[in-house]
Amino acid sequence: MLSRIDHIGIACFDLDKTVEFYRSTYGFEVFHTEVNEEQGVREAMLKINETSDGGASYLQLLEPTREDSTVAKWLAKNGEGVHHIAFGTEDVDADSSAIRDKGVRVLYDEPRVGSMGSRITFLHPKDCGGVLTELVTSAEKH
C-alpha cells in the first residue's frame, strides 16, 4: 500500500547551485548525497518532514553525470524542473506487481537500488497522466 509522498525529484544542471538555492531561500538542509552510477545522476536529498507511516518526505535534487543518462536527456528536452514524484510503500515488489496487473507499464522487471539503499521502480508516465511516478521501499523496510 502506498502510504506517503516519499519525494519529489527535481532535475537541475548544477547540483551545488540548486542545493544552495534551497538552503538560502527556504532553509532546507542536505540530509544525504550520493552518486547513482546506474541512473547516471549525482543527487542530494533534503528532508522536509516526517510522515505518519514512519517514513519521511524529501526533495531529491538530481544532476546528470553523463550525457546519455535519462535525466540528461530529459533536461535537454524540458529544461530544469520537476522530473518525477515518488510514493513510499512497505513492499515495492508486491505493489509494483499489482499495478502492472492493472495494465500500467512498470519500467523495471524487478525493483532496483535507489537513494539511501532503497528499492525502487518507475511507472511509465504515459500510463500515469504525464507523471513519471516512482515507487520506493526505504532501506530499513526491506
Q: Please give the angle made by the CA atoms of 96, 98 and 103, to the nearest 5 degrees.
A: 90
Concerning whether 134 is annotated as a catalytic residue, the answer is yes
Concerning whether 83 is annotated as a catalytic residue, the answer is no
Q: Nearest-CA neighbor of 60 among 116, 4, 111?
A: 116
> Least separation, in Å, of the C-beta of 86 and its own copies?
10
Residues near its own copies (CB under 8 A) are 1-5, 8, 10, 12, 18, 21, 24-28, 48-53, 57, 59, 79-82, 85, 87, 99, 102, 104, 125, 128-131
Concerning whether 84 is annotated as a catalytic residue, the answer is yes
Number of other CB atoms surrounding residue 50 within 10 Å = 11
Q: Nearest-CA neighbor of 41 among 78, 15, 2, 76?
A: 15
If the CB atoms of residues 36 and 133 are measured against its own copies, the closer one turns out to be: 133
Concerning whether 124 is annotated as a catalytic residue, the answer is no
> Least separation, in Å, of the C-beta of 68 and its own copies?
22
If the CB atoms of residues 12 and 72 are measured against its own copies, the closer one turns out to be: 12
How far CA 116 is from CA of 24, 89, 137, in Å, comes to 24, 15, 10
Place of cell 497522466: 129
| The one catalytic residue among 39, 63, 83, 84 | 84
> Least separation, in Å, of the C-beta of 109 and its own copies?
19
Residue 61: its H or E element: strand 56-64
Point out the residues that are catalytic. Answer: 7, 43, 60, 84, 134
